[in-house]
């Protein structure tokens, strides 16, 4: 019998995994220091979520996935993008959650939303019609062309792990104006060939995409940021988080990672961002 993973138990967060893995999907790097030698007050999970939140603009209509995308989108709303309109596939439009939602079915989403619509309306009127500016997604596996697997690990008919499934991610990946993927970087997640294509990025060779949305424009990890090459659509390392090296990013990737000629360093989290992030993790309430 295959192991079944719930939304809170993916291959990278099963109970047998090391406890160093946080609920945000990235491992803590204890004892790390900044370039000037001072001890850091944040870890790789913080950096990943802050970097993702910064990519949302004030006023964006963002369809929020579960896990790290949920944390990052709400962090953006609490910091630099208070007018970001959060949309959840359960039907909540312009939700203003007072605490970090536990799932897309959290009752606080319906209670604070401008409207709650049916699932057919969500996907036909909002997603399919191109009314979503940004889709925030996670994945259990992805390949060098941004194709995502959230269905099974192993053979589909006889899997090692059966995952929660794609949900609305295929439609979001196809039609959102921008798609941002947030995922921990490791060779078991960044694989040469994904076991199942749940959501299409740019296709098996990077040239097969045939959808209205732009596709995955950013992949944000606990190591840095990857962007599709403008000619080949191959994911390319363009930014590194503080304290991370190119070699570390390559070792965390299951294919020969393409690296941009010029690598930028992501600014570390500010005190304001860290305060808001920790408040969200603690599910401390704010006024809607």
- Which residues are part of the catalytic machinery? 89
Residue 246, judged by CB atoms within 10 A of its CB (0-12, 13-18, 19+), counts as: middle
CA angle in degrees (0–180, nearest 5) for 119-137-21: 125
The tokens describing 28, both together, are 């803590």
Cα 242 from Cα 37, distance rounded (Å): 12
Number of Cβ atoms within 10 Å of the Cβ of 19 = 7
CA angle in degrees (0–180, nearest 5) for 84-53-256: 135
Cα 144 from Cα 234, distance rounded (Å): 6
CA angle in degrees (0–180, nearest 5) for 11-163-252: 35
Structural contact between residues 229 and 260, judged by C-beta atoms closer than 8 angstroms:
no
Chain CA centroid to CA 167, Å = 15
Structural contact between residues 48 and 243, judged by C-beta atoms closer than 8 angstroms:
no
Q: Between helices 44-54 and 68-78, what is the axis angle to 10°?
A: 60
Residue 155, judged by CB atoms within 10 A of its CB (0-12, 13-18, 19+), counts as: exposed
Phi, psi of 110, rounded to the nearest 5 degrees: -65, -40
Number of Cβ atoms within 10 Å of the Cβ of 259 = 16
């Amino acid at each position: 019998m295959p192991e079944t993973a719930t939304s809170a138990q993916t291959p990278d967060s099963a109970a047998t995994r090391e406890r160093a893995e946080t609920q945000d999907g990235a491992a803590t790097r204890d004892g790390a220091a900044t370039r000037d030698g001072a001890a850091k007050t944040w870890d790789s999970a913080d950096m990943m979520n802050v970097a993702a939140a910064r990519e949302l603009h004030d006023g964006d209509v963002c369809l929020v996935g579960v896990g790290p995308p949920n944390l990052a989108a709400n962090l953006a709303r609490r910091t630099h993008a208070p007018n970001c309109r959060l949309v959840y596939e359960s039907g909540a439009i312009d939700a203003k959650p007072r605490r970090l939602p536990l799932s897309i079915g959290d009752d606080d989403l319906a209670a604070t939303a401008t409207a709650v619509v049916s699932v057919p309306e969500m996907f036909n009127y909002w997603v399919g019609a191109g009314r979503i500016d940004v889709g925030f997604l996670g994945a259990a596996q992805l390949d060098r062309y941004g194709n995502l697997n959230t269905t099974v690990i192993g053979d589909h008919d006889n899997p090692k792990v059966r995952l929660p499934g794609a949900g609305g991610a295929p439609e979001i990946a196809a039609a959102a104006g921008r798609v941002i993927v947030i995922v921990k970087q490791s060779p078991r997640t960044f694989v040469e060939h994904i076991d199942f294509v749940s959501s299409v990025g740019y296709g098996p060779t990077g040239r097969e995409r045939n959808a209205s949305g732009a596709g995955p424009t950013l992949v944000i990890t606990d190591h840095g940021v990857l962007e599709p090459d403008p000619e080949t659509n191959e994911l390319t390392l363009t930014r590194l988080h503080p304290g991370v090296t190119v070699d570390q990013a390559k070792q965390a990737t299951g294919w020969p990672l393409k690296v941009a000629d010029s690598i930028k360093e992501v600014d570390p989290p500010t005190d304001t961002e860290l305060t808001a992030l920790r408040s969200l993790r603690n599910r401390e309430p704010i006024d809607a």
